[in-house]
Amino acid sequence: MSRQILINYEEVYSKTAELRQRIQAELREAEAAYRQAGQALRHLDGRTNAVFMESMEANRVKSQVTCETLTKLLSFIEASARQVERDESMISRAFTSVRVRIRRR
């Protein structure tokens, strides 16, 4: 059993970017669907329409908050991967430096 964790950083970065784009696309589609539903149901009586529109607006806001949260999580994942990549590089350079010094002795 290997005790190494191998991370393909480029894959992490490309996947987080892809997921961000998909989230934004889904949000745009949801916004369009909310607008379309709102316009299609404008013929409802005032009270029913008001309740429906209020409910729809609450769901729209929840969708936006969910997308923002997911985007922040993706940013956190990407930033963490970048930090691990930097740390890994720094450790690698340190070990290389130590090996060079040991060989010189």
* Model pTM score: 0.71
Collect the ranges in the chain with pLDDT lower than 50.
none
Centre a 10 Å sphere on the Cβ of residue 20 and count the other Cβ atoms it contains.
16
Question: How much is the pLDDT for 99?
Answer: 73
**Model confidence pLDDT, tens digit, residues 21-43:** 999 999 999 999 988 888 877 77
Question: How much is the pLDDT for 21?
Answer: 96
Question: How much is the pLDDT for 1?
Answer: 54
**For residue 78, is it left (φ>0), alpha (ψ between -120 and 50) or beta?**
alpha
18 burial (CB, 10 Å; 0-12 / 13-18 / 19+) is exposed
Look at residues 78, 75, 69 and name the one whose alpha carbon lies nearest to residue 12: 78
Question: How much is the pLDDT for 105?
Answer: 67
Question: How much is the pLDDT for 66?
Answer: 95
